[in-house]
Amino acid sequence: MLDDGSLGMEPELPEVPDRGLPPLDKAVGPAPADEAASEEAAEAADADIDSADEDDAEDLELTSEERELRRKRRKRGGGKKKKRRARKGGKKRGKGRRKKGGGGKKRRNGGGKKKHAGKKGGKKGRRGGKGKGRGGGPKHKPNKGGGPKHKPNKGRKPRKDTKPHGGGGKKGPKEPVPPPPGSVKRNSRVGVLSGPRMSVQQREKAYKVRFDSELMYQSVTDLDWGKVKAVLDDKKGVDFVMEFGDEGSNLRSIAQGAYDHYLQTFGKAAKKDGRTINVRPLHEMNGEWYPWCVFTPGNSLSDFKNAFKRVVSVLKSTGGNFKFQLSYAAQNASGHKNPFMDFYPGDAYVDAVCVSAYNLCGATYDENKPLAESLLPWYAEMSRSVNKPFCIAEMSSTGFCNGKDQWIKDSWKTLTYQYTKFNNINWFFQNKVDLLGRDWDLNSRADVNAFVSGFRMFKSATGGRRLFADIEPAEGEEADFEVAEDALLALPAPATAAEEAQQHL
């Protein structure tokens, strides 16, 4: 085949019918007036086509009927050249629509001014279409080692300046955080278990204080309302601890009603009296040292809940005026990680939540452990879990390490200004040196002075009753109360092991 250029002649072009179109290098003029309404959008789109993409020259080969058909198709698709241009460089339209994630959907997101689409320079659309941008720039190439890949947030390690969220991990569980202190002012109450060494009245006289309540312990098989009545007659409240002292585990027998008769007799006496007391059944149930503890072999968590509900239900049925305390140890028995709320039997059976808090320095560990530290896990969990009054069921410190008096002072400050949910405080003053190796009582002048000064501060700050009116310190008098020497010398000798064995264990 000969090259027409070799003959020095212009190649002969096919004759194109004159349809009144302007030259390609000139702007498109307005359409005739009678076609302006129908052809305006198509003419504007054609102008955009001609100026942006040389491939559209094929439009000139179309007849007027074909051009009209194309115009109608564009109009149904929104009349936008941008969409057609994005499709033009991709796969077939039908295939892209049928296959999810295929070329069709990608092309619809490619090109133009849509989000993630390329502007001038021809960047690829969000889903990887092949459409060109307005400037015909480079197509998108998948990231194959050419730069940093996007890493999803899932599984990322936290920044070094953040703490892991609670629930374990290599670094262990998140440290509990106590709630912010509430109002220091509250309806406070301070009680005591005085033990065999001194009666409550003797302590009040020696220390020149007035206790609000008395902590009492009785065996469920020997319940005596008469002793409760004597305390109530002295204008004091009663926190009454029922002990179910069987041999071995006994929660199932309690739940099955083995002690109902004793409970009913006590409840009827309480109803006849009419006054209200706090009742604390199955205390320190999260331990393993009592027959009713959950972790005593033979007992279970469900056994405890059933037994607690049984005791409460029987006492309520008698019509006595009781408020029921659910009393924990500050820590579970060794090796058990149950949340404290696992032991909670339900709001209908609980009027207050309590906890025992002891400093066991010299008996279990070598340094004094602050009350705030001992109580923190329990206090933090229960504060966010229940809306009940809080009480200290029992508290004291050994004296085997130096600083028992300072521990007492610091504990009063913690209860006054930091752990303000506690409004009922019970101190346990009974030595058990021979029996358990614990010297819980106030055994020195320093111990007594620390207790009395802290008692005075707590009552003054919280607004509760604190001291006898006739022994209030005068203005400017030293706040620390020095107990009289003769009062200490007159104290009875410490109880023997046999006497202690008859008391609360």
| Segment 227-273, tens digit of pLDDT | 999 999 999 999 999 999 877 889 999 999 999 999 999 999 999 99
Contact 131/88 with Cβ under 8 angstroms? yes
Dist. CA 106–CA 63, nearest whole Å: 32
Integer angstrom CA distances of residue 262 from 86, 195, 221, 242: 89, 25, 6, 11
Q: Which residues contact 17 (CB under 8 A, 6 or more apart)?
A: none
Q: Which two tokens stand for residue 356?
A: 């025992």
Instruction: Give the residue extent of every domain in the chain.
Output: 189-501
CA distance 251 to 248: 10
Q: How many CA atoms lie within 13 A of 43 on its CB side?
A: 14
pLDDT value at residue 437: 75
Q: What would the pLDDT profile of 163-215 be if each residue is shown by its tens digit?
A: 333 334 445 456 777 788 888 999 999 999 998 889 999 999 999 999 999 99
pLDDT at 447: 95
Residue 121 has pLDDT above 50, yes or no: no
Indicate the pLDDT class of residue 142, thresholds 50, 70 and 90. low
Of 67-71, 103-107, 248-252, 271-275, highest mean pLDDT: 271-275
Find residue 427's DSSP bridge partners.
192
Residues sharing a CB contact under 8 Å with residue 270, sequence separation 6 or more, in sequence order: 225, 228, 277, 318, 320, 321, 322
CATH 1.10.260.40 assigned to 189-501? no
Question: CB–CB of 52/85 below 8 Å?
Answer: yes
Least confident window among 175-189, 364-378, 489-503 = 489-503
Q: How many CA atoms lie within 13 A of 305 on its CB side?
A: 11
Tell me which range, 69-73, 83-87, 141-145, 183-187, is most confidently predicted by mean pLDDT: 183-187
Question: In the structure, what pLDDT confidence band is assigned to residue 396 with cuts at 50, 70 and 90?
Answer: very high
CB contact set of 204 (below 8 Å; sequence gap of 6+):
210, 211
Once rounded to an integer, what is the mean pLDDT over residues 342-350?
97
The pair of structure tokens assigned to 106 is 């990608």
